[in-house]
Amino acid sequence: MNKKNKTPVASAVLRLIHRAFTAASGPALLLLLSTSPSDAGSATWKLNPSSSDWNTAANWTPETVPDGESDTATFDVSDLTDISLSAFTVLDGIVFNSGANAFTINTKSNIIEIFGDGIINNSGVTQKFVVPIFNIGFFNQAAAGSSTVFIMKGGFLGSAAVGFADHSSAGSGTFIMLGATTGETQGGNVVFTNSSTAADGTFVARGASVEGAFGGFILFEDSSDAGNAIIVNNDTLVRGGGGCTAFLDNSSGGKARIKVLGQGELDITFHDSPGVTTGSIEGSGLVILGANTLSVGKNDLDTTFSGVIQDGQTSETGGALTKIGKGGLTLTNANTYTGGTTIDGGTLVVNNSNGSGTGSGAVQLNAGSLEGRGIISGAVFVGNGSGLGAILSPGRAGSRIHTLTVQSALTFNSNATYRFELNSNSGRADEVVAKGVTINSGALFSFSDRGTGTLFPGTVFVVIDNTAATSIAGTFTNLTDGSTFSAGANSFQVSYHGGTGNDLTLTVVP
């Protein structure tokens, strides 16, 4: 994919961010090779330091500043817990001992780079790192620790980043990326490169507060991995200023739980083909696919997405959605992606009230179930003729009775099941509307009465409303035309020529 030709607003900003982070990190990494002071060494922050300056030797025991790749900065009980850097600092790690105070470490206009064990927090309290201008970088296998909070303020291009490279990890830390507060500047950010991982971290990208500014963002590059992270892209009142998460190159979405709220965005436009697999999506924001496929469900959660899933923001088309795993994804809004929808596991519930919940492409149900009361514009194929069963169920299985509308053709293949539910107490039943219906040999019909009532003879239930001029092609293997079956206190006669002459109906008979 030629990334240089992508020019939508959010994506253009992501390219600038990528360049800025590279520019900021590269010189810093070179600088560390020649700036470690000769008196550097591991040390513990004093009980009564003379100032809040990290880089003052008199504040440490022994009186040396931890500032070298083999140096560890240790924190215990202290009268002064708000600490600021006054120089570029390199470390093996930071340790908060058991019983240590809650500290706040502010990088101000300087950089911390950590190359060893990373941050180890044994204190039992939360430790805070504030990044207002420049960066904190984790390298090798350094981890961001547990019960740690990082706050990135942003404000200008290339600023306020926490970066992970090599095989480093976000641990179970919390990262809050604040939106920019001045126009045409970026928000705070977290960038993962190489084979680093978001692990079990929590990431909150907040929106910008003024017009023309950008929200906080999380960027996954190279072969980095979102792990089991919780990622929240927040809304904003500023147009185009929501929080954003983007996957580039060959990065992985892991089993992350991604929440996209309001003007928040998830963007996989610049990822290598075929696309990204992740845990789940939810919220009311914008998912931008470009020409890629987003596969969701790896964490087996049940989530609802009420925002919009679309192709690219300029010329990219063919974006697709695949449902995997054991959980459920409910789509409640009209979506515009064009590359189709595949269900390989779990449940996809389509509950939109206008447009098409699955975009304009076809829906292929290979395994799991397709449910809902919404509208699907493309053709629907239930089953693929082999493998695990595929179930079409209008409404929601075991829940309320509803109608699912397919504006194109509906095909049941040999490993398909149409799960039909009726409530004899209310006299209501599920229904599928489709424009042309084909039922191939081996497809099955499943009937369930959720009530215990006795229906009036002559009552007709439309099982499939075929809006095409042609008849239904084929029959379900266990539901032959003209046959009669009983369920509870009622008996039903089957017709594939009922309704307007080409619908599948069940008529109550004595």
Q: Which of 182, 178, 198 is nearest to 243 (CA)?
A: 178
The band of 211, judged by pLDDT with boundaries at 50, 70 and 90, is: confident
pLDDT tens per residue across span 58-72: 999 999 999 999 999
Q: Which of 307, 365, 300, 364 is nearest to 336 (CA)?
A: 307
Long-range contacts at 342-348 (CB < 8 A, ≥ 24 apart): 342/366, 343/367, 343/368, 343/369, 343/370, 343/390, 344/368, 345/297, 346/297, 346/300, 347/323, 347/371, 348/323, 348/372
Q: What does pTM read for this prediction?
A: 0.91
Q: Quote the CA–CA distance of 188 and 198 in Å, as a whole number.
A: 16
* pLDDT higher at 400 or 381: 381
pLDDT tens per residue across span 120-149: 999 999 999 999 988 999 999 999 999 999
Q: Which helix (H) or strand (E) holds 16?
A: helix 9-35
What pLDDT, on the 0 to 100 scale, is given for residue 32? 38
N- to C-terminal Cα distance for the chain?
65
The band of 207, judged by pLDDT with boundaries at 50, 70 and 90, is: confident
Q: Please check whether residue 257 is in contact with residue 285, taking contact to mean a CB–CB distance below 8 angstroms.
A: no
Average pLDDT over residues 96-114: 97
- DSSP assignment letter at 294: E
* pLDDT higher at 500 or 186: 500
What pLDDT, on the 0 to 100 scale, is given for residue 54? 98
